[in-house]
Amino acid sequence: MEARLVLPVSVEQVAVVVRQMSRADRERLLDLVPDLHQIARQAGRGRLDDGLAAVERARVEVTQALAGRRLSLDEPFLGELTLGQYLRLPDQERGRLWDDWGQVDLEDLEELDVRPDAMPAR
Amino acid sequence: MSGPMRCLLDKVVARRIMEALLKLASAQDLIAEEVDALSLYERSDVRWLRLFMAPPTDHILERLVLSTPYAPLIALFRTRAEVARPTRYFKRWSRRLRDQGFTREDAAILALGTFGTSPAADVLGMHFVATLDRPMLNHWQTRQRTIQERLVAMQRQLDPPYRDAFLPQIRRPENIVQEPQSIA
Contact A109 B124 (CB under 8 A): no
**SS3 of residue A14 by DSSP:** helix
When CB atoms are compared, the residue of B24, B145, B168 closest to A62 is B24
Neighbours of B32 (CB within 10 A): 11
Q: Among all residues of chain A, which has the CA nearest to that of B140?
A: A12
Residues of B in contact with A80 (CB under 8 A): none
Residue B27 vs residues A63, A84, B21, B74, B166: alpha-carbon distances, Å: 11, 11, 10, 17, 41
- Whole-number pLDDT of residue B184: 35
Model pLDDT, residue A35: 78
**DSSP single-letter state for residue B5:** E
The amino acid at B171: R
More confident residue, A35 or B96: B96
**What secondary structure does DSSP assign to A98-120, as a single string?**
HHHHT---GGGSPPBPPPTTPEE
Task: State the pLDDT confidence band at A5, using cuts at 50, 70 and 90.
Answer: confident
pLDDT for position A58: 95
Say if residues B139 and B18 touch (Cβ distance below 8 Å). no
Instruction: Locate the domains of chain A by residue range.
Output: 9-70, 71-101
CB pair distance less than 8 Å for B123 and A112: no
Among candidates B161, B92, B11, B40, which has minimal Cα distance to A100?
Answer: B11
Distance of alpha carbon A122 from alpha carbon B165, whole angstroms: 8
Domains and CATH numbers, chain B: 5-176 (3.40.50)
Instruction: Note whether B61 and B79 are within 8 A (CB).
Output: no
Q: Do residue A70 and residue B25 have CB atoms under 8 angstroms apart?
A: yes
Cis-peptide, bond into residue B161, ω within 30° of zero: yes
The reply to whether residue B121 touches residue A118, judged by beta carbons under 8 angstroms, is yes
Whether A11 has its CB under 8 Å from any CB of chain B: the answer is no
Note whether B7 and B177 are within 8 A (CB). Answer: no
Do the Cβ atoms of A98 and B15 come within 8 Å?
yes
pLDDT of residue A11: 73
Backbone angles phi, psi at B51, to 5 degrees: -100, 145
The torsion angles phi and psi of B6, rounded to 5 degrees, stand at -125, 140
Average pLDDT over residues A30-55: 76
The Cα of A19 is separated from the nearest Cα of chain B by a number of Å equal to 10
Confidence of residue A29 (pLDDT cuts 50, 70, 90): confident
C-alpha–C-alpha distance, residues A65 and A67, integer Å: 6
**Other beta carbons within 10 Å of A101:** 16
Strand partners, B128: B7, B169
pLDDT at A22: 80
What pLDDT tens digit does each residue of chain B (184 aa) get? 567 999 999 999 999 999 999 999 999 999 999 999 999 999 987 678 999 999 999 999 999 888 889 999 999 999 999 999 999 999 999 999 999 999 999 999 999 999 999 999 999 999 999 999 999 999 999 999 999 999 999 999 999 999 999 999 999 999 997 544 444 3
Rounded to an integer, what is the distance from CA A20 to the centroid of its chain? 21
Residue B86, beta-bridge partner list: B116
Across A66-76, average pLDDT = 95
For residue A47, the chain B residue with the least C-alpha distance is B174
pTM given for the model: 0.84
- Torsion sign across C-alpha atoms B55, B182, B121, B71: positive
Asked if A65 lies within 8 A of B76 by C-beta distance, the reply is yes
A87/B19 Cβ within 8 A: yes
A vs B, Cβ pairs < 8 A, gives 186
What pLDDT shows up at residue A67? 95
pLDDT of residue B170: 96
Q: Look up residue A81 and give its DSSP letter.
A: -
Contact B30/A98, CB-based, under 8 Å? no
Contact B26 A87 (CB under 8 A): yes
Nearest-CB residue to B59 (from A73, A75, A104): A104
Interface of A with B in 29-68 (CB under 8 A): 47, 50-51, 53-55, 57-59, 61-62, 65-67
Out of B35, B43, B127, closest to residue A121 by CB = B127
Q: What is the pLDDT of residue B93?
A: 98
Mean pLDDT of A57-85: 95
**Residues of chain A contacting residue B56, judged by C-beta atoms under 8 Å apart:** 102-104, 106
pLDDT tens by residue, A99-111: 999 888 999 999 9
User: What pLDDT does A37 receive?
Assistant: 72
